[in-house]
Amino acid sequence: MTRQLLMSVVAGLVLAFAASLPAQEAVAPDADAASRDQFRQLDQDVQSLKKEVLDLNRDLFLLEEELLFPANSQVAFFVSMDVGEYFKLDSVSLKIDGKEVANYLYTDREAGSLLRGGVHRVHMANLKTGGHELVAIFTGQGPQSREYRRGATLNFSKGIGAKYLELEITDRVKKQQPEFVIKEWE
């Protein structure tokens, strides 16, 4: 046995070193072209399936909404936050005409998303045309991390066509308190 024979394996491995990017390995220099072609073919199939499944999801999403909440009776309730310095949202519960219809507990990730400008559709309902009363109870942590529970009420009229209501949490800087407002989305 010669030392050359022994050394060949590891030396070969070392000298086949690849081009470098920080924190990223390169395409293996000896990457088999056939394998790369196979990967690309599979990837193209996956891309095409993703597109088809996304389109199907869109159609199903719309079907679900139209079936469960026809436009004429649909009312959607959205929660939004502005700034959020004085309030950390834990949950929102909704009562429509005295009946509790939703009780939503927010994860940190969801609350964070609201803070960055996301708007959460917390509930959808079918309501008859005419007057209705919405009561929303917000719970969470207020200034100085104190338990905080506040309500807001809105009497609104449901006409023909979908209606969107916004439950908005804002900061009242002067009072250093959060403010809870329900309004109709124009």
Partner 1 sequence: MVTARAIVACCCLVLALLAPAAPARADKDGPAPIVVKEPHYGEILFYFYQEDYFPAIVRVLAAQQQGQLSAHAAEAELLKGGLYLSYGHHLEAADVFERLLADNVNPEIRDRTWFFLAKIWRQRGYLDKAQRALDNIGEDLPEDVEREARMLQAQLLIDGGDYDRAIAMLGDWKGRTEWSRYAQFNLGVALVRSGRVDEAKKILEELGGIDPWNEELTSLRDKANLALGYALLQSGQPHAAKMPLQRVRLEGPFSNKALLGVGWADAELDSYQRALVPWMELRGRDLLDPAVQESMLAIPYALAKLDSISQAADHYLNAVEAFYEESGRIDRTIGHIESGRFFDEFLTDDPLDSTGWYWRMQSLPEGPEARYLFHLLATHEFQEGLKNYRDLNYLWQNLDRWQQSVDVYANMLETRRLAFEERLPRVQETLARADIDGMVQRKLEFDALLNDIEQSGDWLALATEREFELWGEITGVEKTPALAADIPEAEEVRDKIRLLKGVLQWGLEKDFRERLSRIRRDLLETGEALVETQRARRQVDDSMQRQPDTFRTFDDRVYGLEPRVETLKMRVGDAMAEQRAFLQAIAVGELQAQQRRLDTYTVQARFALAAIYDRAATVTEAAVK
Residues 86-125 that bind partner 1 (CB under 8 A): 109-110, 112-114, 116-121
Choose, by CB under 8 A, the member of 130, 149, 177, 185 that binds partner 1: 185
Tokens at 5, concatenated: 């024979």
Question: Which one-letter DSSP state was computed for residue 145?
Answer: G
Which of 17/144 has CB closer to partner 1? 17
The sign of the torsion formed by the CA atoms of 82, 88, 91, 94 equals negative
Cβ distance to partner 1 smaller for residue 120 or 132: 120
Under rule CB under 8 A, residue 64 binds partner 1: yes
Q: How far apart are CA 11 and CA 117, in angstroms?
A: 56
DSSP code of residue 161: S
Residue 55 touching partner 1 (CB under 8 A): yes
Question: Using CA atoms, how far apart are residues 114 and 172, in angstroms rounded to an integer?
Answer: 18
Can you read off the two tokens belonging to residue 111?
């609350």
Give the range of 34-42, 95-103, 146-154, 169-177 binding partner 1 by CB under 8 A: 34-42
**C-beta closer to partner 1: residue 32 or 149:** 32
Instruction: Decide if 95 contacts 134 (C-beta within 8 A).
Output: yes
* Contact between 173 and partner 1 per CB under 8 A: no
29 makes contact with partner 1 (CB under 8 A): yes
